Amino acid sequence: MFTIGGQHATPSRPLLCFSSRFCRWFFAHQQSQPNACGFTVQASSIKPEVTGPPDLVPLVYVVEQPDSPIEIQSINLDGSWLSVSGDRYSERTCVRYQVRNRSDRAIQHLALLLAYDGRGGAGASNSAPVSAGQTAEVIACGIGGFGGTDSTSTNPMKILVSVGAITIDDCAFRPSVRVPLSWGVKPSWLW
């Protein structure tokens, strides 16, 4: 088994029989690199603190991303609102994130994603590099929108928060995304 674009695949038997020397080389060089950007990440057991309107706070789910160099420490949704009617919704998002760089390298750019039921939502990014071990505040406010939900989506709507793309020196990295199916969110949001 080897990895192609993040997906595991098993080579066909003709490839295995082609040349045992070639196959040994092929398998040795096709192992996915756990961290091609060259940073190390400190483990963490912090559960992000979520504050804001009492009707929104229980809807927030922070996606598990153990390989992310950015750790979300807190999410403040003060000034946000969400209105759901049938399969339609409207929202205004005002979010303040407190994040920490838990890697050993400076991060030039990071994106944080907030998605309503795994669909539309708000993105936020940093305005200055975040040094190793440093915390930073990332803000997105005044964003509003509307949309439709899948008729099979769960009620109440879920607000998913995750770390998006990160740039470290000359390397772009997207942390893995682990969404339990028990959350009731369709995996198509993982784009």
Domain extents in the chain: 1-32, 49-190
pTM given for the model: 0.75
Please determine, for residue 78, whether its predicted confidence score (pLDDT) is greater than 90: yes
Region 44-56: mean pLDDT is 92
Mean pLDDT, residues 150-172 taken together:
80
- Structure tokens, 131: 């040094």
Would you say 31 and 2 are in contact if contact means Cβ atoms under 8 Å apart? yes
pLDDT at 12 over 80: no
pLDDT tops 70 at residue 118: no
State mean pLDDT over 58-86.
Answer: 92
CB 190 within 8 A of CB 122: no
pLDDT greater at residue 185 or residue 62: 62
Question: Above 80 in pLDDT, residue 146?
Answer: no
Give the per-residue pLDDT at 13.
36
Mean pLDDT over 100-121 rounds to 87
Question: In the predicted model, what is the mean pLDDT of the chain?
Answer: 77
CA 10-15-21 angle, 5° bins:
110
DSSP class per residue in 150-175: -TTS-SS--EEEEEEEEEETTEEE--
Closest CA to 162 of 123, 127, 136, 134: 123
Higher pLDDT, 28 or 172: 172
Phi and psi torsions of 48, nearest 5° = -60, 140
More confident position, 98 or 183? 98
